[in-house]
């Protein structure tokens, strides 16, 4: 009985942290929201943090959902074919943008490109090939999968991939964190590959706890993707990400008409 009560309290606290995951939540607010004594809330949060289920920002002391929940989200999504789940969205993205659409998923410290759909104006230089792994932090998709993570966790990921990131795009950790801060406010990531004149934009797909575990992206030549076109592309990406998130939340996969 006591074990069941502890589990219920832990789940309740995770729900509160998840609800406030964008800005984090203080211990006092968790205690108030759950009607738990502050020492009890602190003890449970400490246990959850030790298991990677929550993370505490060292500066603000606010709590955020941890990286282990991102892994759970990936596993939960695999109870149905995630690629099939995304096919209708991929078709709409490629058709309505006329450019190349991608869906990628996080795998530990990397991302994997799951699918690619060509529009009527496909990019001559593919940003990602299906099945290719890239370190998180590289390109629009690699940055989008870090949006919304606590600063300390994002820094840890970038530090783990620092050498790979440096080889691929010569970008240091501080610059990447500055990009993340800006992109988090915008709700999307943007990356320009000057060697191929390709511009990419990506929007995260979040699990039921609000943790990014996959993303949609669109790539096109910089000539086809001027600044004034960015808002309309971002709107498409956010719409399809929200659609997939609603299906995941409902626990059902749609009929795939392809």
Shared domain for 51 and 141, answered yes or no, is: no
Q: Distance between CA 16 and CA 214 in Å, rounded?
A: 23
What average pLDDT is seen over the chain? 84
Instruction: State which of 46, 65, 84 marks the end of a domain.
Output: 65
Same domain, 189 and 88: yes
H-assigned helices in the chain: 2-19, 27-34, 38-50, 67-77, 82-97, 139-144, 151-160, 162-169, 173-186, 230-250
Range of the domain at 241: 72-250
User: What is 88-136 written as a DSSP string?
Assistant: HHHHHHHHHH-SEEEEEEEETTEEEEEEEE--SS--SS-S--TT-EEET
Query: The pTM is what?
Result: 0.66
Instruction: Tell whether the model's pLDDT for residue 60 goes beyond 70.
Output: yes
Indicate whether 138 and 234 sit together in one domain: yes
Could you give the number of structural domains in the chain? 2
Whether residues 60 and 122 fall in one domain: no
Choosing from 48, 65, 82, the residue where a domain stops is: 65
209 touches 201 (CB < 8 A): no
| pLDDT single digits (tens) 245-255 | 998 877 654 43
pLDDT digits 0-9 by tens, 33-43: 888 999 999 99
Strands of the sheet containing 189-193, edge to edge, are 133-135, 110-117, 100-107, 212-221, 198-206, 189-193
Query: Domain for residue 9, yes or no?
Result: yes
Do residues 77 and 100 both lie within one domain? yes
Check whether residue 80 and residue 11 sit in a common domain.
no
């Amino acid at each position: 009985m006591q074990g069941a009560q502890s589990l219920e309290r832990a789940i309740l606290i995770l729900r509160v942290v998840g609800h406030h995951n964008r800005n984090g939540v203080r211990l006092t607010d968790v205690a108030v929201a759950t009607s738990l004594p502050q020492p009890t809330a602190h003890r449970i949060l400490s246990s959850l943090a030790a298991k990677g289920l929550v993370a505490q920002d060292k500066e603000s002391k606010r709590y955020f959902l941890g990286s282990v929940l991102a892994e759970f989200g990936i596993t939960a999504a695999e109870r149905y074919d995630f690629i099939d789940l995304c096919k209708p969205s991929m078709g709409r993205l490629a058709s309505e943008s006329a450019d190349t659409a991608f869906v990628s998923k996080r795998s530990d410290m990397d991302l994997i490109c799951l699918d690619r759909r060509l529009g009527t104006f496909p990019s001559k230089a593919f940003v990602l090939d299906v099945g290719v792994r890239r370190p998180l932090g590289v390109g629009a998709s690699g940055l989008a999968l870090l949006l919304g993570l606590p600063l300390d966790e994002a820094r840890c990921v970038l530090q783990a991939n620092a050498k790979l990131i440096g080889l691929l795009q010569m970008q240091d950790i501080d610059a990447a964190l500055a990009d993340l801060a800006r992109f988090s406010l915008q709700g999307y990531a943007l990356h320009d590959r000057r060697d191929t004149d390709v511009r990419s934009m990506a929007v995260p797909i979040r699990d039921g706890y609000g943790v990014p575990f996959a993303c949609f992206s669109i790539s096109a030549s910089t000539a086809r993707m001027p600044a004034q076109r960015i808002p309309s592309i971002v709107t498409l990406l956010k719409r399809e990400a929200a659609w997939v998130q609603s299906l995941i939340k409902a626990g059902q996969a749609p009929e795939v008409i392809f």
